[in-house]
Amino acid sequence: MNYNASGVRNRFKTAEGRFVLHAERTTGLQPFNYQRSPRLTLAQLQGGAEEGAWILFNIGECLNIARYDATHKDPSKALLFNSSPVRTGYPTCHAYAPARDGLDLLVGLGDGSVLLLSLRAHLQAAGISVKPNPAVSLAPETVSEVHRCTALAWVPRSDAGVFAAAFSSGNIYVYKKSHLTGEGSGKFSLSLGSGNKSQAPSSTIQLTGGGVNDIAVSPDGRLLAAACRDGALRLVDLGSGGVVGGFCSYYGALLCCAFSPCGKFVATGGEDDLVSVYGVAERSPVVYGEGHRSWVSRVAWDPWAFHDASGGASRPRTALPEPLAGPPPRLYRLGSAGQDCELCMWDVQPGGDGEGLAGLMAAASLGPGAGGGMKRNGSVGALAAAGGSRPSDGSPVAGSGPGHDRKSSVGKGGGLCPSLPRADMYIIQPVMEHKIHLEPMSDLLYTEEAIFTVDHTGNIRTWVRPQPEAGA
């Protein structure tokens, strides 16, 4: 049977095979509270008794740390954030990156504080409930009930040396860890509890978007994407701090964003119930996913589901329209978690040499067996006629629909592409959409072996990936 007694899926099928519910956390749950959305972070430690993979998740005033395969059990450690001078000192976000100096964990709080900690040191502490002992505690906007740290991100290719912190005020602060810890010669002695370090950020990015809900950094560490409360995705050059691109949602705030593994696209979701994919080179949205029936809480790319659109034996190839004929495009899997309690999966193409919007169209045109089908809105005819190619001068694709020229609109309004009419959107359907939680979902995490999903109560469900067939 595919459903439990509450009508929630305990298994679902995609082109790769059947995902099966392996474990579920049903204890220690909290009442629904949108301000305290549980988030999931994967951490990997090397050496010592703590070696292995860990899942970090916040529920209420605790940041729990559990073994990768034991999220349904009592956590190995629970960091209790109950000493804040204001009642909002609970964890709102966290981020991990391996670090040679041991300071690898960032935790953001609802009172505006950002803590830099050692995951291993806290796992080694005696007892299950542990009081956080940060190496550095930051309060760039002062501790206040109105200042929330909404997102944290380590900058790739910095060896866990640079990170960004976003706030509900609209400010994003970029820090160099060496400035905070006093590390200069490459040698560092771990000394927890030192709060007298310089706290000045290396740069401050001020966005006029009414607040930042989420951030993501490109794989090359050069660009930062910010999902803003005013409904705009803003793409920021981390070197200069300037906004270099972005777009406006159909309506409502954007709540989440994520760079594709190739760095060519940014997926977003928000209050318009759409999953939008923004092309960094195209400087405009290239495809929209329609399937959720409420706000999209989280988007995440699945690099382990990367495959050719032809699909081999598991995915029959469908002939492409003549203007799009060519080598079968490669697809990445994109997942989205919604407040409609549903998990949706989408197949999109990251693009490549000479590819881009035409490749995304080709991927979606493979039909329900591959791209999940599509709605041929007003933009498709013009795009197909243009072949989705970019002009020789590198400018964005024009002719995206009747009465709307993307090329002329890009660069206005701070470099943001304006919201498109529904008739001009290129819309695809999910390859999978099922209700898998009883409460609104808040996060999902892809790993090589499984998918972790969590709802606003802290109910974590672990889904095992399809196993390869014998002899395959």
Mean pLDDT of the chain, nearest integer: 81
Helix (H) or strand (E) holding 296: strand 296-308
Q: Where are the beta strands (DSSP E) in 38-170?
A: 40-45, 52-59, 62-67, 77-80, 91-96, 105-109, 114-117, 129-130, 136-138, 149-154, 162-167
Could you report the per-residue pLDDT of 33-92, keeping only the tens digit for each? 878 899 999 999 999 999 999 999 999 999 999 999 999 999 999 999 976 667 788 999
pLDDT score for 220: 97
Tell me the domain boundaries of the chain. Answer: 17-38+138-184+196-464
The predicted model scores a pTM of 0.83
Q: What are phi and psi of 471, to 5 degrees?
A: 85, -5
Q: Which of 114-123, 134-143, 171-180, 388-397 is the least confident region?
A: 388-397
Determine contact, residues 274/258, Cβ cutoff 8 Å.
no
Determine contact, residues 426/287, Cβ cutoff 8 Å.
yes
pLDDT score for 467: 79
| Nearest CA-CA partner of 172 in 209, 197, 145, 143 | 209
Mean pLDDT of 124-147: 91
pLDDT at residue 471 above 80?
Answer: no
pLDDT at residue 379 above 50?
Answer: no
In angstroms, the CA 284 to CA 412 distance is 12
Q: Name the more confident of 458 and 190.
A: 458
In angstroms, the CA 106 to CA 307 distance is 33
Q: What is the CATH number of domain 17-38+138-184+196-464?
A: 2.130.10.10
